[in-house]
Amino acid sequence: MTKQLNRSQAPVVKGFGELIIPQVRCVELDNGVPVTIYDSPDSLDVNRVSLMWDGGMCESPNASIASLTADMLREGSTQHSGAEIAEMLEYNGSWLKSSVSSHHSAMVMYSLNSKVDEVFPLLNEIVTAPSFPERQTAVLREKMVARARVDMEKVEYHSAIANRQLVFGEKHPLSTSLTPEELALISVDDLREHLRRVYVPAGLQIYLSGRISPSIEDKLNDVFGCVAVDKPAQELNIIPFEQSLGKSRIIQRPGALQSALKISLPTINRDNEDYLDLRLAVAALGGYFGSRLMTNIREDKGYTYGISAAQMGYREGACAHISTQCDNKYVYPLIEEIKKEIALLQSGGVSDDELVRLQNYMMTSLVSTLDSPFSIMEYYETLRAIGVGADYFESQLQSVKNITSDRIAQMATRYLDIENMYISIAGDI
């Protein structure tokens, strides 16, 4: 007989228990390409293979060339058209996506274990022999141009570009942005050159996860282990941030109903022992719905529908970023409220209730890393992208468990300097 729930009584709240990131195996293909493997015997008969190369937006003449190259890979190879590739993937129950980050490019494929004989060779063909057909290139380029035109009408776009220029440097690769007219000039030759430099086996790391049998590993080696490693890997273009002499920039957008506000505070790099605790202090400030900025500026003052703060660690440097949009008339009062909340965090830390909410929120984020074999492998890919060691998960866990109100106040005082804010505003103000 089914037991009836007593709905007048709240369920018992349990802790998260012990969180441990599973270990992975590291092997090499016959040609020396490294492979990281996470086998989950209890999962379904599916797999995820991720190809990750050194070289991303910062290693390209501009970020748009890197993005368009990645998007064009599946639009045709020397053996199959884009339509044929799409049909083959669909027929075999596979799904493909590409991505480009600051310093890496990736192609990820999800597939059934029973179909690896068909789809692994297709994936290799896509990344080693793309044809970059002119017609499809023109179509995707025009879409990129159209998106750029739409973005340039948004206050958020102008505020973000201005803030990156203030904090990263005017000419930094992460600050530059092409106009629609410049995007229209990207050629197939530009894409081929980017492919030649970045998509090479010497800069490749493969990540394989799911229910992985020896036969799947063998097939991966048969397909990708025979590719010649005859070109050097792309060197990462790490240029330290260099803040602008000016600390504010206003971009007038006549007729805009709202203003976009970006505030950045240069902080410390990930290799600093205080980084993870500072990350929690910034989260307490504006990292989740019950944070200080949301409670005051959204719930109490009603200046905005949403405001967020996040500690962002790049290989080039690190910043605490605050972002929001509001009515034009609230911009300057809102900035004063942000300063006020940072000062209160510095002087008083957080209440016991806030601390529990913060810890639960951050623990939930860590737990989500362990959701599936695929999310676990994504964590290991992130380690490479951000340049940290395998103990990063445990370090985050200990930081969340041990954080105190006094420590949060200490981090806010030490690193969130109100006098060192870089502020960009775009709107009709």
Domain ranges of the chain: 25-224, 253-427
What pLDDT does residue 41 have? 94
Q: Give the Cα separation of 411 and 377 in Å (integer).
A: 31
- At the top level of CATH, the class of 25-224 is alpha beta
Please name the amino acid found at residue 202: A
What pLDDT does residue 407 have? 98
pLDDT (tens digit per residue) in 78-106: 999 999 999 999 999 999 999 999 999 99
Q: Give the Cα separation of 251 and 259 in Å (integer).
A: 10
CB 209 within 8 A of CB 369: no
- The full DSSP string for 258-310 is EEEEEEEEE---TTSTTHHHHHHHHHHHHTSTTSHHIIIIIIIS---S-EEEE
Please name the amino acid found at residue 304: T
What pLDDT does residue 1 have? 52
Lowest mean pLDDT among 135-144, 240-249, 397-406: 240-249
Instruction: Say whether pLDDT at 150 is over 90.
Output: yes
Same topology for domains 25-224 and 253-427, yes or no? yes
* Helical packing angle, 352-369 and 405-415, nearest 10°: 80
Length of the chain: 429
Q: How far is CA 388 from the centre of its chain?
A: 15
pLDDT (tens digit per residue) in 164-176: 999 999 999 999 8
Position 4 confidence tier, pLDDT thresholds 50, 70, 90: confident
Non-local (6+) Cβ contacts of 279 within 8 A are 311, 399
How much is the pTM?
A: 0.93
**C-alpha pair distances (Å), 18 with each of 71, 81, 392:** 40, 49, 16
Q: Give the Cα separation of 47 and 50 in Å (integer).
A: 10
Position 326 confidence tier, pLDDT thresholds 50, 70, 90: very high
Position 213 confidence tier, pLDDT thresholds 50, 70, 90: very high
What integer is the mean pLDDT of 267-285?
Answer: 97
CB 403 within 8 A of CB 355: yes
User: What is the CATH number assigned to the segment(s) 253-427?
Assistant: 3.30.830.10
